[in-house]
């Protein structure tokens, strides 16, 4: 059976997710749910010297949403805040092996990307309002 969506890398991350835990005292965290299918992700991020020093996620849902979250945690590890801001959804899709996702399933993949970005921006805006 040909399953261009379910590439080895996606199944690997789904079955054995990386960084699957919640961080204690994170600098910021963010969670969101895709109401259509109930996919859920929650990220927690620690920063040191303007870089991601540690990142974790927990969640449940389909293979695409959970693999995307796991791959995203690997992708952002060690990145500067500026690099995080510049990161685009194509970067995540590329790291996932550019699976052939249709217009519906792409939302599953983008849930984690959107959630982490929103978390980052609310962290940055709360920081700038404090200084």
Partner 1 sequence: METVAFNVEELRNDFPILSKKFNGKTLAYLDNAATSQKPRQVIKAICDFYEGYNANIHRGVYEIEEKATMKYERTREATSRFIGAESAEQIIFTRNTTESINLVAKTWGASNIRKGDKIVVSLLEHHSNVVPWQVLAKEKGALLEYINLKEDSTIDLDDFKEKIAGAKLLAITQASNVLGTLVPVKQMTSIAHQEGCTVLVDGAQSAPHMPVSMTDIGCDFFAFSSHKMLGPTGVGVLYGKREILDAMPPYNLGGDMISEVHKWDVTWNELPWKFEAGTSNIADVIAYYHAIEYLQRLGMERVREHEKSLTKYALKRLSEIKGLRYYGPDDIEMRGGIISFTLGDVHPHDIASILSREAIAIRSGYHCAQPLHEELSLGGTARASFYIYNTEEEVDRLAEALNEVRKVFAK
CB 9 to partner 1: min, Å? 14
Please identify, using beta-carbon distances, which residue of 1 and 131 lies nearer to partner 1: 1
Sign of CA dihedral 105, 111, 112, 118: positive
| Phi and psi torsions of 58, nearest 5° | -130, 160
Q: What angle do helix axes 63-76 and 8-15 make, rounded to 10 degrees?
A: 90
Report yes or no: 26 and 6 within 8 Å, Cβ to Cβ: no
- Site residues for partner 1 per CB under 8 A: 1-6, 11, 15, 36-38, 60-64, 105, 108
Q: Which is nearer to partner 1, 87 or 108 (CB)?
A: 108
CB of residue 30 to partner 1, shortest distance in Å: 21
For partner 1, the closer CB: 15 or 86: 15
Shortest distance, CB of residue 25 to partner 1, whole angstroms? 30
Q: What is the rounded distance in angstroms from the CA atom of residue 121 to the CA atom of residue 62?
A: 26
CB nearer to partner 1: give 38 or 50. 38
Q: Are 26 and 45 in contact (CB under 8 A)?
A: yes
Enumerate residues 6+ apart whose C-beta is below 8 A from 85.
Answer: 120
Q: How far is the CB of 99 from partner 1 (least distance, A)?
A: 10
């Amino acid at each position: 059976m040909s399953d261009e969506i379910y590439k080895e890398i996606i199944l690997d991350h789904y079955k054995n997710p990386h960084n699957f835990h919640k961080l204690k005292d994170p600098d910021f965290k963010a969670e969101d749910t895709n109401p259509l299918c109930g996919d859920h992700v929650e990220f927690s991020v620690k920063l040191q010297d303007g870089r991601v020093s540690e990142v974790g996620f927990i969640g449940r849902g389909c293979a695409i949403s959970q693999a995307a979250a796991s791959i995203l945690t690997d992708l952002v590890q060690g990145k500067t805040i500026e690099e995080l801001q510049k990161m685009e959804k194509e970067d995540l899709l590329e790291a996932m092996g550019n699976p052939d996702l249709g217009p519906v399933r792409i939302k599953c993949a983008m849930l984690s990307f959107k959630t982490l970005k929103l978390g980052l921006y609310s962290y940055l805006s709360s920081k700038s309002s404090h200084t």
